Amino acid sequence: MKKIELTLLVNDILKEMEILQLHRRTITYYKSGLSSICEFFENHKKYSFTENTLDVFLENMNEKLLRNELSLFQFKRLERASKVLARYANIGKLTWDTLPKGSSIKVNGYFSDISSSYEVFLGRHQMSGIRYIRANVRHFLKFLEEIGHKDFTEMSLQTIRDFLIATQPTHRGSMPNVMDSVKKFVHFLNIEGLTSLTPEMIQFKVATPRKKVLPCFSKEEVKAMLEQINTYTPQGKRDYAIIYLASQTGLRCSDILGLKLTDIDWKHNEMHIIQKKTGEALSLPFGSDTGKAMADYILQGRPDTDVPYVFLRVEPPYRKLVDTAVTSSILAKYMKKADITHLPGDGKTFHALRRSIGTWMLESEIPLPTISQILGHRSLDSTKRYLSLATSMLSECTLDIQDLGTERRELV
């Protein structure tokens, strides 16, 4: 690459931002990051742009972030500025894309940067439901942009209330989740010094939706699926262990895929994990048949590799199954072989295996608090939904009208 004086490069970038008519706040945001880069180059007696020096700069900033000498927002600003600088140095042109990867909601460059920083924040704090929080926040940022906000300086409680009102018609069944997402985002903005609002200030009431009770699998259906699996092949051993583990322990799909060899205590037939959804520790016993299914796969079907996760791809490169769509396709395959009908919205998904074990335990008269503990629920309310699925128990609650002792014979 031809040597280019860094200050000239930066000036050209800022001029092109003006030509593209980017918002003043966005230009200021990137100018601050580029100035920090220039200062670093000068301190190291580097006056021409080189990618090697830029890499050293980012490594230094990452170390500062780990030492808490730099906020996450500041780091993301420097990282974004570095990407713009490197791209411009390579192609000689400033391209501005406001459509971040994985999102179909376009927002301005500044809001995109905030959104990216927030996603990193969510990941580092292992918050559950990241995908839904991210989507709700993108809608919120789009709303702010549409009503003329370029940053968060004029965001008020009334602004948030207006967003909730505007969102309600299209989110009738998930307004509590939208509210929770906004509160979490406001908390992040407050930490970064971008707003004086706090989550505690947001006291609006939203309608709690009726929770739909989706069906579960019967024991016969699970047995039928397991019988369709060829356990003489590595893939069959893996698929059998995954489905059996889910149906016998109620582990979430994400926790099964994240299960490591070191999480299994074979001596005491227990698993010790940190739940991905809740971030809380869970110690879960497993039966001998579950242990046999896992051991058969690990010893006879799992690839010989240093990868720490239990369930891996069958073909190289050997790595963990990372997409829950994989387990969905595994289940669908054996449902079809077992002639189990599956229609859109009928609830017969991989997660239904978790609902199944919860329902079976309830029908076996295991107390709700125990079921809640086994399933790793943070709230007993989550477990109470299984009451609607335990049809055999509900049938016992019906009363014969003759037992009501009515004195009006026309009612009998």
Query: For the domain that residue 322 is a member of, what is the CATH number?
Result: 1.10.443.10
Q: Please give the residue that has the higher pLDDT: either 134 or 325.
A: 134
Do 195 and 231 belong to one domain? Answer: no
Per DSSP, what are the bridge partners of residue 99? none
**Backbone phi, psi, residue 320, to 5°:** -65, 155
For residues 49 and 119, give the distance between their C-alpha atoms in angstroms, rounded to a whole number: 30
Among 34-43, 45-54, 91-100, 166-175, whose mean pLDDT is lowest? 91-100
* 373 falls within a domain: yes
Task: With beta carbons less than 8 A apart as the criterion, state whether 281 and 380 touch.
Answer: no
Please give the C-alpha separations between residue 248 and each of 184, 188, 360, in angstroms, as whole numbers. 34, 39, 10
Among 296-300, 355-359, 381-385, whose mean pLDDT is lowest? 381-385
Please give the C-alpha separations between residue 62 and each of 12, 58, 68, 72, 315, in angstroms, as whole numbers. 27, 6, 10, 10, 35
Label residue 158 by pLDDT band (50, 70, 90): very high
Label residue 2 by pLDDT band (50, 70, 90): low
Do 309 and 382 belong to one domain? Answer: yes
Do 230 and 376 belong to one domain? Answer: yes
Give me the sheet containing 270-274, strands edge to edge: 264-265, 270-274, 281-285
Do 227 and 331 belong to one domain? Answer: yes
Structural domain boundaries enclosing 145: 109-201
If 0-12 CB within 10 Å is exposed, 13-18 middle and 19+ buried, where does residue 333 land? middle
Q: Report whether pLDDT(388) > 50.
A: no
* 246 falls within a domain: yes
Residues 6+ apart with CB under 8 A from 104: none
Do 346 and 263 belong to one domain? Answer: yes
Label residue 400 by pLDDT band (50, 70, 90): very low
Share of the chain above pLDDT 70, in %: 77
Kindly report whether the peptide bond that precedes residue 176 is cis, defined as omega within 30 degrees of 0.
no
Report the pLDDT value the prediction gives residue 111, as an integer from 0 to 100: 87
Number of folded domains that form the chain: 3
CA-nearest of 60, 81, 74, 77 to 6 is: 81
Do 245 and 325 belong to one domain? Answer: yes
**Backbone phi, psi, residue 96, to 5°:** -125, 110
Length of the chain, please?
412
Report the pLDDT value the prediction gives residue 383, as an integer from 0 to 100: 44
Task: With beta carbons less than 8 A apart as the criterion, state whether 160 and 202 touch.
Answer: yes
* 224 falls within a domain: yes
Active site residues: 252, 277, 351, 354, 377, 386
Please give the C-alpha separations between residue 381 and each of 148, 373, 389, in angstroms, as whole numbers. 41, 12, 14
Do 302 and 226 belong to one domain? Answer: yes
Do 258 and 192 belong to one domain? Answer: no
